[in-house]
Copies of this chain bind each other. A is one copy, B any other.
Amino acid sequence: MKFFLLLLLCWSMPVVAEPLLTEKRSFSSDNFRTFSGQRIPRIDVGWQSYGTLSPARDNVILITHFFSGSSHAAGKYQPDDDTTGYWDAIIGPGKAIDTNQFFVISVDTLVNLNVHHPKVITTGPATINPETNQPYGLDFPVVTIRDFVEVQRLVLESLGIKRLHAVMGASLGSLQALEWATVYPERVERLISVIGAAEMDAWTVSALEHWGTPIRLDANWQQGNYYDAEPPTEGLVAALALMTQQATHPSFFNQSPVQHQAMDQAALASIHTAPAIVSWLRDYAKERARYADANHLLYLVRASQLYVAGQQGPLLDAIQQIQARTLVIAAKEDVILLPYLAKELHQSLDSSGKASTMLWLDGQLGHLDGIAHIAQAEAALRTFLEE
């Protein structure tokens, strides 16, 4: 049970007190122009908020979400929801990100992984192109972290918001947060990067590619044209199994509820029978695949692979633009975005004369420590947001 509970923390926190309630809203915009210069006739994204926007609109904290996340950063949609948003431990009345003080807002990214989740609103390959009445499939343009930021900017501007007291995100969300501070330096006062990076290197680009490989090999994938046929579920499940394992660490993964048997008799008897721990991981990934779309996963991989702060490089030129003070929070045992990547971000800020503080999370969860153990940063977050 422990394993499941902890993994669930990835997108939800168990409920303790009176829940913070939130509502999913929708934003749309026509003729979105991507960073690569392509046109998307219409985009729709979901967003949600917590707390009250001050009359001067100067109390805004933007939360940018991770690869398999959504704008559901905290709270519940209904009082009897089983779970809360993923960072409920730090977002709410009286919490580190105090919603009595701040207006906290989060936006579903383009090409959101869980496009079929009833509470996710996104635009990507699985969306119907209004000009053809067919799903885009791979005709959807490659989108970048910059595009996610531009969509967030449009949402914020629709609310009259120009400045951010802070922008904070974990993992893929950390890239978006950094992009904000780089491209709109005069609008971002504080940057909080959690289990993040400043740019992708050869190792990480290649490691991310392996996530998409099983999808591309699945015969049902059909070069992305599967929306009127059987989807590439096997490939998607394999991708999510790999991601699920890598989001943890052996010291945690080895506590999985199906204990690995030193000598798995069924797996010895037949090459067709996977070891029990493998079947368990696959079943777990199947659950995760329920709302996910395979093409969206490929687009998220690509957006990640293309990242360098400012989306052009060299990195230090981009870092030079930043005006925000920065808090870099990293997980010691991270095997997805290895700890040297967060350290590199901190050091490039530091060597560029920017104010940056580094905070290490303890834990056995690996990458997921940045979600499940974020409460360790509570005091640091309070201080950082008040300074």
Residues of A at the B interface (CB closer than 8 Å) are 35-36, 138, 140, 142, 144, 199-207, 209-210, 213-214, 217-219, 224, 234-235, 238, 241-242, 245, 250, 253-254, 256, 258-264, 267-272, 274-275, 277-278, 281, 298-299, 302, 305-306, 308, 311-315, 335, 338, 340
Contacts and interface: CB of A to CB of B under 8 A. Distances in A.
Contact of A281 (B206, B217, B253, B311): B206
Given A263-B308, A312-B263, A202 B256 contact: yes
Given A202-B259, A218-B217, A260-B202, A209 B274 contact: yes
Contacts of A299: 271
**Most-contacted residue by chain B among A250, A269, A271 (CB, 10 A):** A271
Nearest to A281: B206
B206 A278 contact: yes
Contact of A250 (B217, B270, B338): B338
A257 to B, nearest CB: 10
Contact of A263 (B250, B277, B306, B335): B306
Contacts of A267: 142, 302, 305-306
A281 to B, nearest CB: 5
Contact of A268 (B142, B217, B238, B277): B142
**Most-contacted residue by chain B among A144, A201, A259 (CB, 10 A):** A201
A222 to B, nearest CB: 11
A201 B302 CA distance: 32
A313 B253 contact: no
**Most-contacted residue by chain B among A207, A210, A235, A313 (CB, 10 A):** A210
Contact of A206 (B199, B235, B277): B277
B217 A277 contact: no
A200 B275 CA distance: 12
A357 B260 CA distance: 28
B305 A263 contact: no
**Most-contacted residue by chain B among A242, A259, A313 (CB, 10 A):** A242
A140 B272 CA distance: 11
For the complex of A and B, the 5 pairs showing the least CB-CB separation, nearest first, are A262-B313, A262-B308, A203-B250, A202-B260, A219-B219
Given A214-B213, A263-B311, A271-B142, A202 B306 contact: no
Contacts of A250: 201-204, 338, 340
A213 B216 CA distance: 12
Given A205-B275, A219-B219, A262-B314, 16 more contacts: A142-B268, A202-B254, A202-B277, A203-B250, A204-B250, A205-B260, A205-B278, A206-B245, A207-B245, A210-B241, A213-B214, A217-B234, A261-B313, A271-B302, A275-B305, A275-B306
A205 B267 CA distance: 11
B217 A235 contact: yes
A219 to B, nearest CB: 4
